[in-house]
Amino acid sequence: MRYVAPLKDMLFALNELADLQAIQALPGCDDATPETVEAVLEENARFCSEVIAPLNRAGDLHPSHWQDGKVTTTPGFSQAFRSFAEAGWQGVQHPADFGGQGLPKLVATPCMEMLNAANLSFALCPLLTDGAIEALMTAGSAEQKEAFLPNFISGKWTGTMNLTEPQAGSDLAMVRSRAVPQGDGTYRISGTKIFITYGEHDMAENIVHLVLARTPDAPEGVKGISLFLVPKFLVNPDGSLGERNDVQCVSIEHKLGIKASPTAVLQFGDHGGAIGTLVGEENRGLETMFIMMNAARFAVGVQGIGLAERAYQQALQYAKERVQSKDLEGSDKAVSIIHQPDVRRMLMSMKAQIEAARALACVGAAHFDIAHHHPDEAVRRTNQAVYEFMVPIIKGWATEMAIDVASTGVQIHGGMGFIEETGAAQHYRDARILTIYEGTTAIQANDLVGRKTARDGGQVARAILAEIRRTQAAVAADGNADLVAIAAQLGAAADALDAVVDYVVRNVEAEVKQVFAGSVPYLKLAGIVLGGWQMARAALRAQEKLQAGEGDRSFLTAKVATARFFADHYLSQAIAYRSAIVEGGASVMALEEAQF
Amino acid sequence: MRYVAPLKDMLFALNELADLQAIQALPGCDDATPETVEAVLEENARFCSEVIAPLNRAGDLHPSHWQDGKVTTTPGFSQAFRSFAEAGWQGVQHPADFGGQGLPKLVATPCMEMLNAANLSFALCPLLTDGAIEALMTAGSAEQKEAFLPNFISGKWTGTMNLTEPQAGSDLAMVRSRAVPQGDGTYRISGTKIFITYGEHDMAENIVHLVLARTPDAPEGVKGISLFLVPKFLVNPDGSLGERNDVQCVSIEHKLGIKASPTAVLQFGDHGGAIGTLVGEENRGLETMFIMMNAARFAVGVQGIGLAERAYQQALQYAKERVQSKDLEGSDKAVSIIHQPDVRRMLMSMKAQIEAARALACVGAAHFDIAHHHPDEAVRRTNQAVYEFMVPIIKGWATEMAIDVASTGVQIHGGMGFIEETGAAQHYRDARILTIYEGTTAIQANDLVGRKTARDGGQVARAILAEIRRTQAAVAADGNADLVAIAAQLGAAADALDAVVDYVVRNVEAEVKQVFAGSVPYLKLAGIVLGGWQMARAALRAQEKLQAGEGDRSFLTAKVATARFFADHYLSQAIAYRSAIVEGGASVMALEEAQF
């Protein structure tokens, strides 16, 4: 199925909601002129649609396969990755100093969405490399930066994240891999890492693993974990590739979806120890990994948006083409199923959720850019806090949404949706990983409750709520019937979120399990309210432009109607979440283990 | 993964909620003594766990395959079907006159659940045969009954339903297959039928197709469809198998799930026409098919419950075994993940939804039994109406629930859930067909709105609501804090359903699309309220028994707590559905087709 990038909606989110103009005005962001951004997005759209999207089904039919320690990726992937690298797409958001385009995250966000919509399996390789770049930018030494960043950014080498071990998944305190200092600045790494995305492949000449491990005298738990850089091929002082390092891919997984993306089991140090160098300080690996993870979590949220958009486009095309049953309001003959109210409801639910999540991700990216470029430290700090509050919501909510949307896409196809040849089922299978990797939804929700809400006593949450109230007032003041209805739903939903934040802050210590029993519902509630807030802002901007006679009338009236749908069908759920969280914590924990 | 039938909960639903004693007192049901029923269920549980369940994974790994018109099923299926047939399990609910056990549907329902939990793909074959039996019992001639029913019931032959054609899926008005009378009482059938479950296989010596087709002078639309019986092998007057009939399996589908169940494309009449006989009257095929479909829809709802139970058991076992992270309330070392509040919430959501749906299905089956066996015609009529109201809810709600539960099962497994070897992913794939076949959720919802609510002006719905109010009052009167909370949520949810029924009845003619835009939300709301009603009844009975010092204390306190969880987390959603349905119809239909 063809993929057409939703550029109009992306540009609306960038310009009208995330204030690209303000981002461009920041020091270091002046390249992001409206013309450049539009040109970059258009070129990225063309590349993703024409080069990457056609390989999506091939990846499902011809997964990456392992033989004798080597992984051969889906036919076409390697060449496509060359084209991707040569066009400079790995470097969109990375510094020009190391060969990147140095564009804001706000501009990289729609590019990421397009790549993921085109081909989730393919996009994972650059996504992980982005994480490795982020880690080195934050904590790498000058030598590490110089040796690795240009090769990452040019797409010559790729990066991986090595966290999980068989006994250490969500709980990194249980990491056992060892790193023994050699006295020459290097370490010998040994251990088994599992679930390593693109841990081995044939798309680049070197693969650089960022590996969590413990030094011999490290303390127990998460405070004894260090981060190491372990390349597949050692790098000579002149930058050329040296010897093969002691890391082997012993197998790859047979998975439900994203079959083209090789998920490796890596064995480090079976022959004396893989040689690695420390990134940052000893025992502080988790801090660096968290920076990398925040970037990766945001990116996985964007994966959800991209996957959902692809599933939506496929279902929409089917709904317009499949003729079945007469129109309910009377027609002589059968009509396309998009005339059926329930098909329409399903399509609206897909469209509205995608647009809400896209808007929220773009606004989150703008906060990141301000946090990184604004001259005023206080402004940077505030924006960083808002960004960090939003990351688990964007990751958790947008990926749960993606599963829902992909499943709805199957449903719209009826019986054909269950047939693999149709392609809708692939999205349903692919989407299922998104709420699991880079921290399950529960892990995101723990982060939201613990680090992002309880730690500051709800300050950031309440500051966002105050913004939501301002939007609510402005939307209510417009007078348009749709906007008035949206404002009413937004107000009620904000009340619900307010009550939940209050509940979390007040009870998290005394009733820790009851509060955490509501953590995922809280995350979903926050997603709905923040997403609905962005849709309300979108409706207001659309309405203003309509009244001023500006812009694309059809697009703008659709935006108002879609925002209204979101308010009617999603913001209306907020009150139910509030009740389940505030009143339903005890019943979650009521049974003894033996009573299950 | 092992399957252990939840006999304790099944017997509770039968005895305490569906009043098995009252059913046994009906004429023709006297064999269903408590001892017999318990023995039948235990034996069925043993058979399903030991013989059928172990083949579930094999079916996924070694799907049925087609070659030269023949379908070879998964190794082991054919022998297992022999055992199934020889033990008499096909005949549980069918008349003793034709070799069945003549037990009530109420007893057959948990048997169906167990078979489906054990192996959804396998269970489809008997499920379709049940449908064929139902059709012949209703509309077959004496000759047809005599020739076919004993062979169906003994499991010697199997049955299929042939409705769908490439252009006729949800809309049967578009059926084009033709049936030309030969003047000797037979017809020559020709046409292509798709999505025919077990349309061809190697598990029985004959396959008998029930086929919708049009006679040459039949009127257009659904009023010109007749039902024919078309065996794969013609049946000689002495009952022996005769010539091969002109029906060929030209291919089977490559599907997302239920891979062991062959989904056939059948070509009728390429060599002169398949010979068939009419079932019932010409042009009234759809009426008979609807009887068969009501039985099959109920059964698919039960499939949802079975599949969900299997996914739940697998996730529960993993949650008890997988050690990861410390207990939130403090522990020296890592504990099994069932201690984590969000894992607990997920397990409770699975358990509570399954128990609610199981209870509702059993109560629905009891209404069916009363409708078929009660001496008083008025009582029969009332119970038939309630049963028919419940069928789309049981089918639609329990199958949507099954997808949700199977997905939650994957989530509980974390990364392991995405690995096919674990088995959780198979449930997620298998479950996805349930909301599609035998009428999509939208088709169920159309039935609920049109035939079951609007047609009688909401009478049956309101009669059920009155029962719910009675339960609410009784539960509220108990005084136990959990029961008081349940009663409050049930009352609010009943108010919401009441408002929606009112909205549907008042607006279905003037605002047909807006009302149908809320049809699936209405179905889900009805599922939650009726399921919550049964859980409230269950809590009340459990509480009464606890106070009387009767029964299994651990089971009964768990029942109260699970009902409380259902009230807190599901009944609380009713108000959101009400709002989306009553206020959100217009925004579903607001966009022009070109605006998507």
> Taking a contact as any Cβ pair under 8 Å apart, which residues of chain B between 329 and 388 contact chain A?
329, 334, 338, 340-345, 347-348, 351
Query: What distance in Å separates the CA atoms of residue A567 and residue A590, rounded to the nearest whole number?
Result: 34
CA distance B290 to B128: 14
Beta partners for A334? A326
CATH 2.40.110.20 fits A158-287, yes or no: yes
pLDDT in tens, B139-164: 999 999 999 999 999 999 999 999 99
Does B565 lie at the interface with A, CB-CB under 8 angstroms?
yes
Q: What is the largest CA-CA distance in chain B?
A: 85
How far away is chain B from the Cα of A334, in angstroms, using its nearest Cα?
Answer: 9
Which CATH topology does A289-587 take?
Butyryl-CoA Dehydrogenase, subunit A; domain 3 (1.20.140)
Residue B473 to chain A, least CA–CA distance (Å): 21
**The predicted structure's pLDDT at residue A290:** 83
- Chain B residue with minimum CA distance to A437: B415
pLDDT tens-place string over residues B545-587: 999 999 999 999 999 999 999 999 999 999 999 999 999 999 9
| Predicted confidence (pLDDT) per residue in A434-486, tens digit | 999 999 999 999 999 999 999 999 999 999 999 999 999 999 999 899 999 99
**Contacting residues of A for B593, CB less than 8 Å apart:** 320, 338
Angstrom distance (rounded) from CA A296 to CA A289: 10
State the smallest CA–CA distance between residue B17 and chain A in angstroms.
21
Nearest to A106 by CA among A44, A23, A35, A28: A23
Phi and psi at A74, nearest 5°, equal -50, 135
Residues 498-517 of A with CB under 8 A from B: 512-514, 516-517
Across the interface, of B512, B573, B579, the residue whose CB is closest to A328 is B512
Structure tokens at B591: 């966009």
B587 at interface of A, judged by CB pairs closer than 8 A: yes
Asked whether A581 and A525 are in contact (CB, 8 A), the reply is yes
What gap in Å lies between CA B111 and CA B137, rounded to an integer? 21
Nearest by Cα to A519 from A530, A531, A508: A508
Task: Enumerate the residues of chain A whose CB falls inside 8 A of the CB of residue B572.
Answer: 576, 579-580, 583-584
Q: Name the nearest CA neighbour of A529 among A558, A489, A557, A561.
A: A489
- Cα–Cα dist A96/A116, whole Å: 24
**Which chain B residue is nearest to residue A341, measuring alpha carbons?**
B517
B228, two tokens: 């024919």
Query: What's the CA gap between B293 and B387, in Å, rounded?
Result: 13
CB of A440 less than 8 A from some CB of B: yes
Contact: B590, A195; criterion CB under 8 Å: no
Residues 400-419 of A with CB under 8 A from B: 403, 407, 410-411, 414-415, 417-419
Digit-by-digit pLDDT tens for chain A (596 residues) are 899 999 999 999 999 999 999 999 999 999 999 999 999 999 999 999 999 999 999 999 999 999 999 999 999 999 999 999 999 999 999 999 999 999 999 999 999 999 999 999 999 999 999 999 999 999 999 999 999 999 999 999 999 999 999 999 889 999 999 999 999 999 999 999 999 999 999 999 999 999 999 999 999 999 999 999 999 999 999 999 999 999 999 999 999 999 999 999 999 999 999 999 999 999 999 999 888 888 999 999 999 999 999 999 999 999 999 999 999 988 788 999 999 999 999 999 999 999 999 999 999 999 999 999 999 999 999 999 999 999 999 999 999 999 999 999 999 999 999 999 999 999 999 999 999 999 999 999 999 999 999 999 999 999 999 999 999 999 999 989 999 999 999 999 999 999 999 999 999 999 999 999 999 999 999 999 999 999 999 999 999 999 999 999 999 999 999 999 999 999 999 999 999 999 999 999 999 999 99
Report chain B residues whose CB lies below 8 A from the CB of A593.
Answer: 320, 338
How close A583 comes to chain B (CA, Å)? 7
Q: Which CATH architecture has domain B7-63+73-153?
A: Orthogonal Bundle (1.10)
Contacts (Cβ under 8 Å, ≥6 apart) of A122? A52, A55, A56, A59, A77, A80, A81, A115, A260, A261
CB A517 to CB B575 under 8 A? no
| pLDDT per residue as tens digits for the range A101-122 | 999 999 999 999 999 999 999 9
CATH fold of B157-284, please?
Answer: Butyryl-CoA Dehydrogenase, subunit A; domain 2 (2.40.110)
Residue in B with minimal Cα distance to A432: B418
SS (H, E, C) B416-454: HHHEHHHCHHHHHHHHCCCCCCCCCHHHHHHHHHHHHHH
Quick: pLDDT tens for B80-116: 999 999 999 999 999 999 999 999 999 999 999 999 9
* B9, B342, B508, best to mutate vs chain A, most A CBs in 10 Å: B342
Look up tokens 């119970």; give the residue.
B383
The pair of three-digit structure tokens given for residue B337, joined into one six-digit string: 């993940």
Torsion sign (Cα): A87, A91, A96, A101? positive
**Shortest Cα distance, chain A CAs vs residue B186, angstroms:** 31
First to last CA, chain B: 44
Query: Under an 8 A CB cutoff, do A568 and B584 touch?
Result: yes
B442–A contact, CB cutoff 8 A: yes
| Nearest CA-CA distance, residue B558 and chain A, Å | 6
Average pLDDT taken over every residue of chain A: 97
Query: Which residues in chain B have their CB less than 8 angstroms from residue A536's CB?
Result: none
* Chain B residues with CB-CB distance to A516 below 8 A: 328, 340-342
Flag if A519 and B341 touch (Cβ within 8 Å): yes
Interchain CB distance below 8 Å, A565 and B588 = yes
Report CB contact under 8 Å: B580, A594: no
Instruction: Just list the catalytic residues of A.
Output: 438
Distance spanning both ends of chain A, measured CA to CA: 44
Is B469 in CB contact (< 8 Å) with chain A?
no
Domain boundaries, chain A: 7-153, 158-287, 289-587
Beta strands in A303-406 (DSSP E): 323-326, 334-336
Residues of chain B in contact with residue A418, where contact means CB-CB under 8 angstroms, are 253, 255-257, 432-433, 436
Picking from A320, A348, A418, the nearest residue to B255 by CB comes out as: A418
Dihedral sign for Cα B251, B256, B257, B259, please: positive
- Among B195, B340, B558, the residue with its CB nearest the CB of A595 is B558
Q: Which CATH number fits domain A7-153: 1.10.10.60, 1.10.287.110, 1.10.540.10, 3.40.50.1700?
A: 1.10.540.10
Query: What is the per-residue pLDDT across A520-578, written as a single tens digit (0 to 9) for each?
Result: 999 999 999 999 999 999 999 999 999 999 999 999 999 999 999 999 999 999 999 99
Chain B positions in Cβ-Cβ contact with residue A324 (cut-off 8 Å): 167-171, 174
**CA of B523 to nearest chain A CA: how many angstroms apart?**
12
Of B421, B575, B587, the CB nearest to A564: B587
List CB contacts (< 8 A) between B334 and chain A.
171, 173-174
B583: nearest CA partner in chain A: A568
- Cβ–Cβ < 8 Å for A378, A283: no
Two tokens at A351? 């469209």
Searching chain A, which residue's CA lies closest to the CA of residue B591?
Answer: A558
**CB distance B580–A592 less than 8 Å?**
no
A557–B595 CB contact, under 8 Å: yes
Paired tokens of B192: 């292509």
Question: What gap in Å lies between CA A459 and CA B228, rounded to an integer?
Answer: 70
Beta-carbon contacts below 8 Å between A and B: 258
Q: By the CB < 8 Å criterion, does A488 face chain B?
A: no
Which residues does B527 contact at the CB level (< 8 Å), separation at least 6? Answer: B357, B360, B393, B396, B397, B398, B400, B401
Which positions 111-140 of A are in contact with B (Cβ < 8 Å)? none
Separation CA B214–CA B286 (nearest Å): 11
Q: What is the pLDDT of residues B472-496, one digit of tens each?
A: 999 999 989 999 999 999 999 999 9
Among A167, A334, A347, beta carbon nearest to B596: A347
Enzyme catalytic residues of B: 438
* CB atoms inside a 10 Å sphere around CB A104: 27
Cβ separation B338–A583 shorter than 8 A: no
